[in-house]
Amino acid sequence: MKIRAAVLESFGAPLEVQELELAEPRTGEVLVRLVACGVCHTDLFTASGADPSGYSPTVLGHEGAGVVERVGEGVTSLSPGDHVVTLFSPQCRECVHCLDPRTNLCLAIREQQGQGFLPDGTTRLSREGEPVRHFMGTSTFAEATVIPEIALAKVNPEAPLDRACLFACGLSTGLGAAMNTARVEPGSTCVVFGAGMVGLGAVAGCRLQGAERILCVDLSEERLELARGQGATETLVGGPDTVERILELTGGFGADYTFEATGNVGVMRQAVESARMGWGLATVCGVAGKGESLAVVPRFLITGRRVAGSSFGGVKGRDQVPQLVERWLAGEIDVEPFVSHKLTLDEVNRGFELMEAQDGIRSVIDLT
């Protein structure tokens, strides 16, 4: 079938909306008619050329939601008409990692996915007979896409898909960092660095876990106001003295849990140094730039602080994304403030411009 999709032809250049061929799903694959897709920083990170593992030509996009149109042989968990959220972090439910509660990093299709291919080492996207690679196993800047069954979460059809798509990446990453990776305990003190999509999700996750104090740090007063709406009890405009100010607010000890959601290695260091002596846990969610490293003074670790990384919030997608969507539908998570702009596929580059200008939290592309 012919579809329109936003193609990354060369790094640093605008995406080009083109007509491509999308082949039928093969064994274990599903054809999804996409309804909406969020424009995430990871897409911009790859498009800019900053991602050392990036490749082209490829159809970007990974924060998608849509409706199953056709299924390939052997697909048992999904049927035409099902509403789904795409998963760049799949869940096969069979590999050693999927069977272990300590991680969500499924091993089943990781190698091929990282190279831009579906599990059999080929693509379903092409242009004039030449293959176009898939991005993060999803390629959701398109009218339709073919995705492995294990990379789709079936969600409640009552959930509006132009909001549900946020659970495909940013929102679940933040919520899961607090709920799965850090496992925030009731009555605790938390600090979240960054009030973008992931940081606001972490604030909401800390609230859902019963944290007593949630301090959010950001450079934007407007974003800090949004953090209050998600459950932040205190806010702070960031700066070079942020660690000292957090220590003052916590009796000199620091916070039980800190979360970094900026991708800035300097802020990552602040998150570590703001964690409580004795048992503080700093969870790093942001993706740093190419070649950057995090410098931690060893005495911060020797005196009891710990550092954890969190990919997709530790969320096991097929099992847990539907649960998070249900909590949204039940009124426990307020998704509405996150959607700042609605765009068409032809305006995809505008989504990147808005992100770079820090205009709003999330632009969502309407693909209908």
Q: What residues are labeled active site?
A: 40-42, 62-63, 92, 95, 98, 106, 110, 169, 362
Please list, in sequence order, all residues whose beta carbon lies within 8 angstroms of the beta carbon of residue 100, skipping any fewer than 6 positions away: none
Phi first, then psi: give them for residue 233, nearest 5 degrees: -90, -20
Distance (Å, whole) CA 321 – CA 311: 14
Distance (Å, whole) CA 171 – CA 123: 28
Distance (Å, whole) CA 92 – CA 56: 27
Q: Is the peptide bond before 57 cis (omega within 30 degrees of 0)?
A: yes
Tokens of residue 347, six digits: 């305006």
Coil vs helix vs strand at 151: helix
**What does each C-alpha distance from 47 to 38, 70, 293, 336, 349 come to in angstroms?**
15, 30, 22, 27, 10
Coil vs helix vs strand at 233: coil
**What does each C-alpha distance from 224 to 6, 178, 189, 243, 358 come to in angstroms?**
33, 18, 17, 18, 13
